[in-house]
Structure 1
Amino acid sequence: MTTHLSPSLSQKLDRMRDFYHHRNEPRLSLQAVATMAGRNLSRPVSVELLERVEAGDVQQLPTDVGDALCDALGVDRSYLRPGSGLDIDIDQRLRLWIEIRDRGIEHFQARATSVTRDELEDLIAHIRTIPLTGDDEAKATRG
């Protein structure tokens, strides 16, 4: 059994930006993320705050800002809530969906009700073995 560690806030923001966009579209800039979160919050979210998060200088966001980011990017709010205990599981699901999308897998179904974190890591690793082709391969090596 492997010990799974919570990602840092910087890693979470990065993962959320990777998750949000559609296949073959660029990921959102921090300015776009700040604008979207600000709309959800009904007040501005500064891009400088997100830059500080990205740089690792901010380790925790105010709950309302974190919730607005999650809502804007379609991620469960528990992902950015300290102490929720769900961030590792949500991160694994995000990584799984990113891999599925980036490899062009058209259909994916899962009916398991009790998948361990180790089993999910094995599934992510297996999906990563599916080759990328053309533009997808070039994008994967850049980002």
Structure 2
Amino acid sequence: MESGFIPEKNTVWILEGIIYYLPHSQAMGVLKTIADNCRITHTVLLADFMNKQSTALSATNYHFYSDWPDQLLPSLGFSDVKLSQIGDPDADYGLLHDPHNLFNRLRGLPRSIQNHPDDGTPCRRLYLVQASGSPNGS
């Protein structure tokens, strides 16, 4: 194919720093297209998702969000979703040990909390997501 995508080949999709710039309908269309490929071949999605509070940083730039991408992606057809939040032990890369760092401060708070209980600031989160699926569902 001219674009390089061959539906019959195992595929990795990387949507780093992309999905939250799209309008909701377009972002969902992209995610659904990728999920549909899980029925054809082994497919992996690597993406970052902002929560709703994060998109408020720029109402003109950020449009798509998901507070629960680990629930959204299985509803589209992905069978295996792993979610990490920046600052989690598997996603801190040794850089986020300052207790005043935004992401470090949020690590212990449940995702359902919208504002930080200490100071009322919005809980802006960035999730790193790995999702996959294959024709046989494994």
Name the TM-score, length of structure 2 as normaliser.
0.24
- Give the strand-richer structure, 1 or 2: 2
Between Structure 1 and Structure 2, the one with more helix by share is 1
